[in-house]
Amino acid sequence: MTEKVAILDCGGQYTKVIDRKVRELGVYTDIFPLGVDPDKIKDHNAIILSGGPSSVWSDGAPKYDKRIFSLGKPMLGICYGMQLINECFGGVVKPGVKTEYGQILIDIDNTCPVFDGLSDKEHVLMSHGDAVAKVADGFKVVASTEGVVAGIWNGEKKIIGVQFHPEVEPTVNGMKIFENFLRKVCALKEVYALEDRIETSVKMIRERVGENGKVVVLVSGGVDSAVTAALLAKALRPDQVYGIHIDHGMMRKNESDLICANLAKLGLVNMQRINAEDEFFNTPLTIDGVEYQPLCQTCEPEKKRAIIGHMFFVVTEEAAKKLNLDFDTAFLAQGTLRPDLIESGNPDVSGYANKIKTHHNDVGIIRTLRDKGHVIETNWDWHKDEVRQVARMLGLDEEIASRQPFPGPGLGVRMICTDYIGTFEDTDKVNKLDEVVSGYPYDSDIAPIRSVGVQGDNRSYRSMAILYNNVKGKDALDCDFENLYSLAKLIPNKLDYINRVTYCTNKNEMQGATFCTPMHINHENAELLRELDAIVTKHLMNKKTAQCFAVLLPISCDEGKHFSVAMRAVCTSDFMTARSAMPGVDFPIEELKAATKEIMDNFGDKISLVLYDVTGKPPATVEWE
Ligand code: XMP
């Protein structure tokens, strides 16, 4: 690639979105850690510095080589990136000047080429505690909010810094800012086309596998691995490709049948379906010298993810052995996407990004095999929407191309496991929640379980608040959702021990504290969740909801019932940020009522609470674990 941009990762979770936006504009990108050797980026045409969770003045700030600022390249610094630029060129950054989080209207100097075509006031996403206290010499302020610096520009050096995040959706004209930077400041053209990348991928497969090599491809049923299988089928002879679908007992209803039928259509002749529920649920493991209990006794999310990821490989290796293949000679192919690796904190694509979740296709054993050169990742360079386009270009069924994402660990991360018996015991925290909720027409409680979130670029594992409509004589779903959603935003901002808020759809008024009983992954629980998930998907999935599913919870407020269920439906295009789909706006309220009724009609003997997750990402994540 002759024209390319280096993205230096300062640890921000949005780095992959920057990557995505630049590529969407047809410019090739490489991501490096901020501390990259300047020699490695001397042939890149421009540098983008991402945001990050640190403060430039703190001891924990990521290290870097100052020479990156003397390479004479055009630069775009975002949030932390801007603060770093300002400091390196002699300015000052301080805490407490102004803290801004959320969408804000800022003043813009649209004579700056990077802001060309924008109006003089723009909506942008701000998320910072530090701010510029003195602007570096040679830079002028080109954006501001109430006197606080939101953008600096040095026309001679072609360096722009923005305090806000042009890469995410709340910055309405963010794409225009990237376009101006790439075309008007860096003079880069649109040359990085998807068609060429398919050809490059096919060429790469042929070169690596050779005339006689064999490849085992793990097909999960989602669009990613289907594209990998299709690319392998295009690049190699049928006898070189072995497809394996592992049913780990945590697939959705009828999913494995659907997948296997579709794979046959792809022309995969050597195709195996392996039912491995028992092995996944009941095998104790040693991973990297650490002993793990079997999955059916494990509660911690990261441990569950590690076990499932590892078991995928163990089962695949056994299957390969039966085919007389081993991974010293054969290759393992998987549909890993670029964002999976960035989010797993993979050192090859991301220097510092705080690990939010271990993706199943980037566990230790796969990294070792990758280092040996035996993993083929045809989609390694692509984002989700690009893979969907590739799927259509390769002629895959639309049912597969537009399929909603399903995590590799499947329903395993949607069964919230626990050994705890009891209620949430910290009354002080419950009282504080009551204070925040007072004045709103809701009762509130804190559930004695935790779920994963992403807050301030870091992983969090915190409590969940439940809200109940407390207006007498009204149906639970007869509520003002705008008002509910603004409260759902307020709670995690005010109370740092809560990262998720749900709304009870089957009970009006709270009827006793939420009680927790032990729950683990097993066949019965997976079966129950499969049914619940099918109901939720049937009612809530539509063109506006990008993903939608059920989560099985070990909580109840009714004697004799052990479970509750949470319904999750989100709207997002990149899955890095997401908002909870709003009833009445993103799908009809009647559908939520119908889903609640169907759940209670069919499973009312087991299910106590039916909850709807009203939290965005951040502060929660899309999945609960
Ligand atoms: P989170 O929960 O991190 O999810 O907000 C963002 C998107 O990624 C999917 N996801 C996964 N996909 N393997 C996958 O292939 C995984 O381990 C995994 N974990 C989360 C999630 O379903 C959502 O679409």
The superfamily CATH assigns to domain 4-185 is Class I glutamine amidotransferase (GATase) domain (3.40.50.880)
Tally of CA atoms within 13 A in the half-sphere of 18 that contains its CB: 33
Model pTM score: 0.77
Compute φ and ψ for 190, nearest 5 degrees. -95, 95
- Which protein residue has the closest C-alpha to ligand 1 atom 7? 575
| Bond from prior residue into 619 cis (ω within 30 degrees of 0) | yes
- Nearest C-alpha to atom 20 of ligand 1 is from which residue? 407
The tens digit of pLDDT for each residue in 449-505 reads 999 998 766 788 999 999 999 998 889 999 999 999 999 999 998 999 999 999 999
Instruction: Please state the atom number of ligand 1 nearest to the C-alpha of residue 625.
Output: 2
The single-letter DSSP state of residue 236 is S
Q: Superfamily for 194-410?
A: HUPs (3.40.50.620)
Amino acid at 570: V
Q: Strands 121-134 and 75-78: what pairing?
A: unpaired
Q: Is 165 a catalytic residue?
A: yes
* pLDDT of amino acid 522: 98
| 282-341 confidence digits (pLDDT tens) | 999 999 899 999 999 999 999 999 999 899 989 998 999 999 999 999 999 999 887 776
Q: How far is the CA of 577 from the centre of ligand 1 (A)?
A: 12
- Atom 17, ligand 1: which residue's CA is nearest? 359
- Where in the chain are the domains? 4-185, 194-410, 422-613
The pLDDT of residue 167 is 94
Q: Which atom of ligand 1 is nearest to the CA of 409?
A: 17
pLDDT at 380: 81
Sign of CA dihedral 528, 532, 533, 538: positive
Q: How many Å apart are CA 6 and CA 28, to the nearest integer? A: 9
What spacing in Å lies between the alpha carbon of 545 and ligand 1's midpoint?
15
Residues of the chain with pLDDT under 70: 1, 97, 99, 101, 341-360, 456-457
Query: Which whole-number Å values give the CA distances from 535 to 91, 454, 519, 621, in the listed order?
Result: 57, 28, 22, 22
- Tell me the three-class secondary structure of 320-347, residue by residue: HHHCCCCCCCCEEECCCCHHHHHHCCCC
Q: What tokens were used for 583?
A: 């009833």
Task: Give the pLDDT of residue 250.
Answer: 97
Q: What is the pLDDT of residue 300?
A: 96
Q: Which residues line ligand 1 (CB under 6 A)?
A: 340, 356-357, 359-360, 405, 407-409, 547, 575, 617, 621-623
Identify whether 296 is a catalytic site residue.
Answer: no
CB atoms within 10 A of CB 107: 16
Question: Per the residue annotation, which of 167, 591, 598, 623 is the catalytic one?
Answer: 167
Whether residue 588 is preceded by a cis peptide bond, meaning omega within 30 degrees of 0, is no
Length of the chain as a residue count: 625
At residue 343, the pLDDT reads 60
Q: Name the 3-class secondary structure at 45.
A: coil
**Ligand 1 atom index nearest CA of 624:** 2
Calculate the CA dihedral of residues 521, 524, 529, 535 and round it to 10 degrees: 170
Centroid of ligand 1 to alpha carbon of 120 (angstroms): 38
The one catalytic residue among 10, 44, 79, 504: 79
Q: Using an 8 Å Cβ cutoff, are 88 and 48 in contact?
A: no
Q: Which ligand 1 atom lies nearest to the CA of residue 343?
A: 3
